[in-house]
Amino acid sequence: MNIVLLGLPGAGKGTQAKHLSNIFDFYHLSTGEIFRRAIKNETELGKRAKKYTESGDLVPDEITIELIKKEIEKVNKRGDEGIIFDGFPRTENQAEALSDLLADFDQEIDLCIYIKVAVDELIIRLSGRRICEDCKAIYHIKFNPPAEEGICDQCGGNLYQRTDDSEEVVKNRIERNKQEMEKLLAYYEEKGVLEQVVGTGKMPEDVKEETPLVVKEYRE
Ligand code: AMP
């Protein structure tokens, strides 16, 4: 079973994907996380992706789709229950490419969960977000601050702000994503696999109660 998690930047895709992959036996595939790791490690992929991620633009499809292809091949060898796609697809073209790639393995997207959050709330969420360098735990300077400023409660690692979480870049990211989101929602709606979870005004813990229920319903 393969799942796509959709949501504008800051909707909580990463948090929910991590949660679902802990409860069920899914492989969590985050394209943003793969790019960030590659950039940090200065790999060839990182060098190609850097300028796009820093300005909040999409990395070109030829790079991103090739990356997804390799990841799907890798996961199929591992034998997980399926993949949770977090941050991919971002465009209709990517959604079609994903469908074609999965078809090569006799698979498809079985469920698409859209986490809906109002834009004003997304800007506040993202510009206050801090992430642990080591364990990737996510904090918010106002809504979920660590006990000690700049230090992760869970592992003691340093917290940092993503370069693309500054307010100006955040607005650009949301605006660009919004246009494509409508098309993606229509695409998965048409396939009959779209489910919506409302995230506006909710803490991650509240949303975490709902998403596994949606998955369970589709698994049965
Ligand atoms: P995210 O962590 O999902 O917000 O992604 C961070 C950045 O990585 C995005 O702003 C893009 O620059 C890049 N990125 C992530 N996923 C994709 C994708 N599916 N297509 C193109 N670029 C992507």
Burial grade of 29 (CB within 10 A; 0-12, 13-18, 19 or more): buried
Domain membership of residue 189 (yes or no) is yes
Mutation test residue for ligand 1: of 13, 30, 31, the one with most atoms within 8 Å of CB: 31
Q: How large a percentage of the chain has pLDDT more than 70?
A: 100
Torsions phi, psi for 165 (to 5 deg): -100, 5
If one counts the domains in the chain, the total is 1
CATH number at residue 108: 3.40.50.300
Domain membership of residue 161 (yes or no) is no
> Higher-confidence residue: 76 or 191?
191
Ligand 1 pocket residue status of 58, Cβ below 6 Å: yes
Q: How large a percentage of the chain has pLDDT more than 90?
A: 75
- pLDDT digits over 88-139, tens only? 999 999 999 999 999 999 999 999 999 999 999 999 999 999 999 999 898 9
Does 79 score more than 80 pLDDT? no
Type of residue at 125 = R
Ligand 1 pocket residue status of 199, Cβ below 6 Å: no
Is 130 marked active-site? Answer: no
Give 153's pLDDT tier (boundaries 50, 70, 90). very high
**Which among 69, 136, 162, 202 is annotated as catalytic?**
162
Partnered with residue 132 across adjacent β-strands are 159
Predicted pLDDT at 219: 81
Residue 102 structure tokens? 């999965």
Domain of residue 18, residue span: 2-117+176-219
Residue 41 structure tokens? 């490690």
